[in-house]
Amino acid sequence: MPEHPRILFNPKDNPFINSGYGIIARHLVPRLAAHYGKDSILVFAPVFQRDEIRDWNGVKILPGVSATFGEDIIYEHYVHQKCNLLLQIGDWAPLRTIPQLASENKLLWIQYAPMDFLNFPQWAFDILKCAHKIVPFTKQAEKAFKGYKLQNVSEAIWIGLDSSLWQPLDRHEYPNTMRSLGFAEDTYNILIVAANQSRKYLRETLEGIKHFIEAYPQAKTRIYMHTHVAGERRLDQDVQELGLQDIVSFPDPYDLVNGGIDESQLVVVFNCADLVMDVAMEGFGMSQTQAQACGVPVVCMSEGGGPELVKWGVEVPSYSIDRSQALLKPVPHPAQIATGIETMYKAYLEGKRRSDSVSQWTRENFSWDLIAEQWIKLIDQVMEEREKFSLYVPRPSEELMRRSREMVEL
Amino acid sequence: MKIAWVQDLSPWTELGGAQLTDKAHIIAGIKRGHDIEIILPGTVSAFQEWADLIIVSNATMFPIAMFQNFTKPYVFFVHDYWPLCKLRLYYPMLDKCRVCYPSLDWRAIFEKSKLIVWLSPLHRESWLFTFSELEKHEYALVPSPVSPDDFYDMKLERKGAIAVHSGVDFKGKERFVEWCVEHPDVPVTLVGPGDNLPPNVTRIEHVLYTKINELYNRHEYFVHLPMNPMPFDRTVAEAYLAGCKIIANKNVGALSWEQFYQSREHVERLLRASSAMFWDKIEC
C-alpha cells in the first residue's frame, strides 16, 4: 500500500488572493483536502506572514517571510511538517535548491508548469528534469516539454474554473455594470483582462484596436481594461497617445488595491463584453476560458495555450520575437490584431454574439471537480511510484533494527 | 576457460569494495590460466560468442534483456542486493521486499544461473528473505579477499576508536552516533562523510588506501554498527587483521563467518584462501 500523501502545496499566491495562482489554490486545495483529509495538505505561499500558522477552512497555511521564492523555507516546511510530496504551482525558473534536493531524493517534487516561451535553454531543462513529474498546463506545453526530451512529463491538466459561477448571463440585468465599464448595447464592447506587464503586449493590443476603429468607425468600439493603469506600462499615456481616451475605461484603482473584485463580479464583467482579447503567449490563459465559459469569443495568440482553449475566436500569429529576456516571447503585430478583431466583428454583425455550445463545452471540460479528479489520479500514481521505486529510504525491518543492537565485540 | 566478467566499474581503476574484491579474484584467475575479459557498460563485445562462462558481478548499468538472453552458462557473484532492491545496501528486508519490482524481473534469471556466489552466510540469508526459491540453488560462500599482507598489527601505540564511513546512513550512522554519545570519553576518528556528529568525533574526509592500515593501528577499537544487512564489510576484516578490537553488531556479514570467533589466525587463513575458494567452486 502506498503511503498516504501529505502534500506541501506551494502556489505562488495564497488561496485568499485573487490572482490566477490564488484561484488554483482556492479551488484545488479544498478538493484535495476533501479527498485525502484536511491534515494531508498544507499550504505555503511566499507572502509576508511571519509567525502564525493560519487555518483556512481546516487547512493549515504555513508561515514564512519571503517576497520571492524562499526555497529554504519550502524545504524546512517539507521536513518539519513531515510531508512526502511537494506540489509546486508557479514560477519554477528561479528555483535552485528544490531541484538539487529532488535529484537527491530528499523530496518528491511535482511541478505544475506553464510553457509560455518559445525556447528552452539548458538551464531550464536542468531544473525541470529533477522533478518527479512535470504537469503541463496545456497539451501544447506537454508536447513542447516532451519535444525537449524531458522524460518526466505527465499528461496535461488544465486550470479549472468554477462552472457554477462562470456561465452566460443576461447582461441586460446589469445596466449599472455595463455603464461602469463604458459599455452600451449599441457599442462593440471589447474586454481586456491582464496584468499590466510588458509580456501582455497591451500597447500592441491597443494599437490593433485603433487600426480596427479606423477601418470600422461605425462599430462604436468601447474598451474596458481590467488592470492597473500604472504598471510596466503607463496605460493612460498609451491611451492618450493613441487618441483612445474617450473610449477606454479602467477599473476604479481603489477597488483594485482594496481587496479587488471577486469572481462573481468578474463574471458579470465578462458577460458584458462582445469580445475578449488576450494576444500574449499564455501558459494557460484564464481570461480565455473564462470568456468561453460565458460564451464570449476571444482573440488570442497562435502560440501557447490559446489554440487549445479557445473554441470560438481568432488566433493572431506571432510577428516577431521579444529577446529582452532569457525566455523568448512571440510578439503580435497590431495590423494582425486588427484583422482578428475584424473577423469577430463581422460575425457579430451577422448576429453571432454568443455561443451556447462553446460555453457548455468549456464549463464541462474545465470544471474544478473534473480537474481535481485528474490531480487525485496523478497524486495517487506518484505515491504508488514512490512506493514502487523506493523514492525514499524506508527504515529497516524490526528484525534488522533488533540485530543492530545485538553487539559483537572481538 | 574463456571468461567474460561483467562489471559496472573497472576493477583496475575503481577502489570500491566490489572492485577490489573482483580485482583480487581476477588476478588469481589469470594465474590459474583463465582468459578473463572485463565487460563494462557501453563496450561492444560479442562476448557470448567466445566466452565459455560469464561471471556477473555488479551489473546495474546493463539492460536486463542482456541477461535474459544469455546463451552461455553464467554465474552471479553478487556484492550487495542490487537485483532485488533498488536501494542496494539500504535493503530494508521488509515484507514488501518479497514482491518488490526488481526482484520480480530478476528471479527467473537467477534461477537459471549455474552458481551464485555470496560474500558471507548473512549475505545469503538476507537474499533468501526475498528469493526463498534460491535456497536449494547451487551456491558458494566466499569472503572478500582482504589481504593479511596489507592489514596487520604494526605494534603502534593505540588510542580511541576509529570508524570508516559510519557517518553515512546505510553504514549505520544512527547507531554509530548513539554509541559515540554513550561513550563521550572515547575519542573517535571517523573516516568519510558525516555531519551533525557528537563532539568526541573527529572527521577525516579521505585516507589513501595504502595508509589506512597505519590509521587502524593507531586506534584501539573499530566501531561499525550498520542497521542494514552488510554483505561482508571489508573494513571490519581490515581493522580486525590490523589488531583493532571490534565493536560491531549482527548486521555485519563478515562476522557471520565463524572464524572471526576463533582467532586472528583463523581469519587470516580464511581470507588468504578466498580466491582459491572462489575459483575451486567456479571450476568444478
Other beta carbons less than 10 A from residue B136's beta carbon = 6
pLDDT band at B142 (very low <50, low <70, confident <90, very high): very high
Query: Which residues, numbered 133 to 172 in chain B, qualify as contacts with chain A under a Cβ-Cβ cut-off of 8 Å?
Result: 169-170, 172
User: How would you classify the pairing of strands A54-56 and A59-61?
Assistant: antiparallel
Q: What pTM was computed for the model?
A: 0.70
Amino acid at B152: Y
* Nearest CA distance, A21 vs chain B (angstrom): 37
- Indicate the residue of B86, B170, B251 with minimum beta-carbon distance to A403: B251
Q: What confidence tens digit (pLDDT) does each residue in B73-92 have? A: 999 999 999 898 878 888 99
> What is the spatial distance between Cα A4 and Cα A36, in angstroms, rounded to a whole number?
8
> What is the spatial distance between Cα A292 and Cα A354, in angstroms, rounded to a whole number?
9
Q: Do A407 and B249 touch (CB under 8 A)?
A: yes
Please check whether residue A403 touches B, CB under 8 A.
yes
Q: What confidence tens digit (pLDDT) does each residue in B198-240 have? A: 999 999 988 888 899 999 999 999 999 999 999 999 999 999 9
Q: Specify which residues A118 forms β-bridges with.
A: none
Mean pLDDT of chain B: 92
Please check whether residue A67 touches B, CB under 8 A.
no
User: What's the average model confidence in pLDDT over B120-135?
Assistant: 94
Q: What confidence tens digit (pLDDT) does each residue in B165-179 have? A: 888 877 888 999 999
**What proportion of chain A, given as a percentage, has pLDDT over 70?**
95
> What is the spatial distance between Cα A283 and Cα A90, in angstroms, rounded to a whole number?
11
**What proportion of chain B, given as a percentage, has pLDDT over 90?**
74
| Cα A31 to Cα A62, A114, A376, distances in angstroms | 19, 22, 9
Please check whether residue A3 touches B, CB under 8 A.
no
User: How would you classify the pairing of strands A7-11 and A41-43?
Assistant: parallel
Amino acid at B269: R
Q: Where are the beta strands (DSSP E) in chain B?
A: 2-6, 35-39, 53-56, 74-77, 115-118, 139-141, 161-164, 188-191, 201-204, 221-223, 245-249
Query: Which residues, numbered 201 to 240 in chain B, qualify as contacts with chain A under a Cβ-Cβ cut-off of 8 Å?
Result: 225-229, 240
Return the pLDDT at B101: 73
DSSP letter for A367, please: B
Q: Do B240 and A410 touch (CB under 8 A)?
A: yes
Return the pLDDT at A312: 97
Return the pLDDT at B209: 83
Q: Answer yes or no: is the ipTM higher than 0.90.
A: no
Instruction: Among B88, B93, B170, pick the best mutation site for testing chain A contact (most A Cβ within 10 A).
Output: B93
- Indicate the residue of B93, B101, B252 with minimum beta-carbon distance to A396: B93
Report which of A40, A30, A55, A136 is spatially closest to residue A368, judged by C-alpha positions: A30
Tally of CA atoms within 13 A in the half-sphere of A135 that contains its CB: 21
Residues of A in contact with B245 (CB under 8 A): 409-410
Please check whether residue B261 touches A, CB under 8 A.
yes
Return the pLDDT at A66: 55
Instruction: Among A395, A407, A408, A409, pick the best mutation site for testing chain B contact (most B Cβ within 10 A).
Output: A408
Mean pLDDT by 10 residues, chain A (410 residues): 88 79 91 94 74 80 66 85 91 87 90 92 93 96 94 96 95 95 96 93 96 96 95 95 96 76 91 97 93 98 94 95 89 96 97 96 96 97 82 84 93
Residues of B in contact with A3 (CB under 8 A): none
- Indicate the residue of A390, A400, A403 with minimum beta-carbon distance to B87: A390
Span of A46-50, A114-118, B50-54, B139-143 with lowest mean pLDDT: A46-50
Q: Is residue A20 within 8 Å of residue A404, measured between CB atoms?
A: no
Query: Which residues, numbered 82 to 141 in chain B, qualify as contacts with chain A under a Cβ-Cβ cut-off of 8 Å?
Result: 85-87, 90, 92-96, 100-101
Q: Specify which residues A224 forms β-bridges with.
A: A191, A249
Residues of B in contact with A389 (CB under 8 A): 86, 101
Return the pLDDT at B254: 96
Instruction: Among B176, B196, B228, B238, pick the best mutation site for testing chain A contact (most A Cβ within 10 A).
Output: B228
Return the pLDDT at A65: 64
